[in-house]
Structure 1
């Protein structure tokens, strides 16, 4: 564990060692001054130690109370967070203690959910997942990069949930008014940028191209909405580029689903990718879906 005390830092120790080892006179002077200071202050130190032993709690409280509060809003936010946590502990954790003790030993979720990082679309809150039911990955615009793009946090979580946890369902869920998709649709073709956001959302460029080809007559806002759903299906197809995902889907051990949450009118669409091993895409360049549902 890192030490915050200056006296314990390696740099401090190294400097002190050099000053005492290479300058004997300085070392003797420091010892002499230390001894003199010790004898002169022994009485006052004794009094302070006595006061600390009898009023230690009061001294700590005084220090705490006089600490300046620089960010009042943050303090208020964490006070509310504390109250929510204690409420969770009382009404959820302790009332279901046996279940949480089981989860402390292992997890066996049936779902991997890939959702947007947008603060308005927490999948557990919207879809009611309870602890242990869903392994959740959240990123900007709920994108799944293809296998050939190389390692990233999203496919690391994908690998773990599929190969180790052996989830039975992957749900890629998007949402209305997605800022990540809007950034994708606003980008110029072949744009070079140092922006982390743009370099990430370009993963969805196939969805953007498809949207431009089929919805060019629509307004920009309508094109963004179209791309929000098209991007979900593009991510479902990207999932099949991972060998261990494609293998389990082909064996019927894993299903791939898309979902779209419209928080403007609180509706949810759900569908399943109809996997065809020989050709996951149709001749028209589209894809087959099944079990489409609309929840309202």
Structure 2
């Protein structure tokens, strides 16, 4: 009988989940055992002060990025870190925001986009998504139309990576504007009990860029945060 030949190019499809399970085991044996008291306290309730809204992209880990512990961030993630305006039906993002602000008494909301965002690449080529990814098309068409129209009418002279960067930045600022349509947020902003922050995470450098209203642009965040004023200033592209 001839010995079976090994396929060196074959990849075991179960390997990713096996790696995840190994990670779970390491978490339980190493991390959890050392931090049992923290998790015991967390089991009694949560009290985060920051709502972190970001993209579903696998290259972003909010807790890793901010070096925060479990219980410190309340996180909402979706394609393109998009927040539909108040009044949209079946808006799970809105429900999460309302819970965070009303029930958890969140003090800061961060909208964090990122470089090389696939959702914004899709928005710039929206018609190409209709057949292969109709649900993604509907999501962007319905909830990112304001950004798409803004780009089409104000940035005709830009293309390529420069246009993508502008799209990412403008999309972040659009979500800040959408957040301001929520009554629970408007009330907190009026009484200075809540601050909104617009951030952009640059994957290749690890830098965070924050929107600085005084300069009307995103600048590298080094120490103090830049709360976004109400009403929002206009972005000035570099």
**TM surpasses 0.5:** yes
Picking from 105, 108, 130, the partner of 2:47 is 108
5+ residue gaps, structure 1, are 1-71, 289-296
Q: Which structure exhibits the higher relative contact order, with contacts defined as CA atoms closer than 8 Å and separated by 6 or more residues?
A: 2
Per-residue deviation at 1:170?
0.7
2:56 and 2:171 mapped to 1: Cα distance?
A: 15
Cα pair 1:182 1:224 within 8 Å, conserved: yes
Larger Rg: 1
TM-score by length of 2: 0.80
| Partner residue, 1:33 | none
Higher fraction of helix: 1
Tell me the SS of whatever aligns to 2:14.
helix
Equivalent residue pairs, number: 209
Q: Distance in 1 between matches of 2:174 and 2:111?
A: 10
Instruction: Give 2:218's aligned residue.
Output: none
Partner of 2:43, secondary structure, is: helix
Check if 1:252 corresponds to 2:192. yes
Query: Is residue 168 from structure 1 mapped to residue 74 from structure 2 by the alignment?
Result: no
The answer as to whether partners of 2:170 and 2:235 remain within 8 angstroms in 1 is: no
Query: Tell me, which stretches of 5 or more residues in structure 2 are unaligned?
Result: 1-10, 212-226
Q: CA deviation at 1:74?
A: 4.2
CA-atom RMSD, angstroms?
A: 2.4
1:203-239 CA deviation, whole Å, 9 max, x = no partner?
Answer: 1222222223332211233212101011101100100
| Separation in 1, partners of 2:198, 2:135 | 26
Q: Which moved more, 1:234-243 or 1:124-133?
A: 124-133
Could you tell me which of 198, 210, 214 is aligned with 1:270? 210
Is 1:281–1:287's contact at 8 Å kept on the other side of the alignment?
no
TM-score (norm 1): 0.65
